[in-house]
Amino acid sequence: MRELHDFEIEPEVRDWLDSLSDSDFKRVDEVAGMLAERGSGLGGPWSDHLEGPVWELRLRLRGVAARVTYWCRPDGRIVLLTVFRKTKQHDQRQIDRAVRAQKICANEHDGPVVESYERRV
């Protein structure tokens, strides 16, 4: 059996996860589980490359398209960066925001976080 990738979650994504209904959280958890299993090899329709090292996790929650951006660190950890509701085919502003978050994460964080996130549903 393949080893699962660990996640790190930026505060924006943590707050969004906390705000979700139980059913929406379960859906996010299911798709994130696939990402944990397959990493950067997840591919469509669940994941798509945005720019540079930044990818998006593609979700549909109650008929609304949501995106969680992420990048894969060199140590194999997956960092969930930003979240947004998809309103355009190509939202460069959201992509730029995710790329900025990735650069800050890569340059200013000194390694894996020690805090964990858990939500029971």
Task: Answer yes or no: is pLDDT of 2 > 80.
Answer: no
Task: Answer yes or no: is pLDDT of 45 > 70.
Answer: yes
Q: Calculate what percentage of the chain has a pLDDT beyond 70.
A: 89
CB 38 within 8 A of CB 55: no
pLDDT for position 80 = 94
Architecture of the domain defined by 7-108:
2-Layer Sandwich (3.30)
pLDDT for position 5 = 83
Task: Answer yes or no: is pLDDT of 57 > 90.
Answer: yes
Condensed to tens digits (0 to 9), the pLDDT of residues 8-37 reads 899 999 999 999 999 999 999 999 999 999
- With CA atoms as reference, report the closest residue to 50 among 94, 103, 105: 94
Per domain, the residue ranges of the chain are 7-108
pLDDT for position 54 = 96
Pairwise CA distance, residues 31 & 59, whole Å: 8
The CA radius of gyration of the chain, in Å to the nearest whole number, is 14
- With CA atoms as reference, report the closest residue to 10 among 121, 87, 103: 103
